[in-house]
Amino acid sequence: MTEQLDETPALPLWLILPVVASMLVALYLMFVWVSTERTMGIVQRIFYFHVPAAMVSFLAAFVGGVASLLYLKTRDERYDDLSLAANESILVFETVNIVMGSLWARPVWGIWWTWDARLTSAFLLLLIYGAYVIVRQSLEPERRATICAVICIFGMADVPLVYLSNRLFRTQHPAPVIGGGENSGLAPDMLFTFFFAHFAMALLWWCVIRVRRRVARLERAVDGLTRRTFELVD
């Protein structure tokens, strides 16, 4: 039986409008409203892209990993679509995180990159999900679900290491800005901008997930039609 395709928009108006509005407000807060950090100057504003992109990639790793495990348990292809969308999105947002971090590091540290625990573990996360995409495209559907679920477990295990690395090891990164001890913290306007940037980035990520899930569903439908066509020809 042919799968009934969902004809509703992947990005409905009720989602597009808040995403566009939140991104515009976030950009205004980052570049106009928030105060400039006294030590680093204007380059510190990269912080409002760098950290939210990292946190969204962490969220995506857990969403993709849990969805992959649920697919193994239920064989519900909706979980497989969600896993694929979330795990592929990590490549986008983790790349933004690393590139923004390097642009910030050059004027502040005097170097583009250093192999400390935080940067190395973040780069490892990118490699893990690069491997996920390659493996998924190279294996037949019957095997790729199990193997990709194992890769997801490694990815989820790396996320706490990335997050805790500057607490557990001596790194080029400074102590955590939030929750890093007595002298940590942000000015109120910086804190508001910081959390609003997370909100806007998370909404943007959800749009990416919805579109990629729809594409995955269409790809599966095309594959099914192709197989049935070959069966009829044979």
The verdict on residue 2 lying in a domain is: no
Instruction: Print the domain residue range for 86.
Output: 13-31+42-173+189-233
- Averaged pLDDT, 16-38: 95
Any domain includes 221: yes
Look at the chain and report how many structural domains it folds into. Answer: 1
Q: Token match 């989602």: residue?
A: 15
**Whether 132 contacts 148, CB under 8 Å:** yes
pTM: 0.90
- Tell me whether residue 94 is in a domain: yes
Partners of residue 37 on adjacent β-strands: 41
Domain membership flag for residue 212: yes
Look at 59-63, 136-140, 197-201 and tell me which has the smallest mean pLDDT. Answer: 136-140
Look at residue 4 and tell me if it is in a domain. Answer: no
Share of the chain above pLDDT 90, in %: 59
pLDDT digits (tens, 9 = 90+) for 149-203: 889 999 999 999 999 988 888 888 877 777 656 666 788 999 999 999 999 999 9
37 lies in some domain: no
| Any domain includes 204 | yes
The interaxial angle of helices 77-109 and 117-138, nearest 10 deg, is: 150
CB atoms under 10 Å from CB of 46, counted, come to 20
CA dist., res. 202 & res. 61, Å (int): 13
pLDDT band at 54; cut points 50, 70, 90: very high
CATH number (domain holding residue 200): 1.20.120
Q: Is 82 part of a structural domain of the chain? A: yes
- pLDDT, tens only, 65-97: 999 999 989 988 899 999 999 999 999 999 999
In DSSP terms, 94 is beta-bridged to none
| Residue range 117-128, pLDDT digits in tens | 999 999 999 999
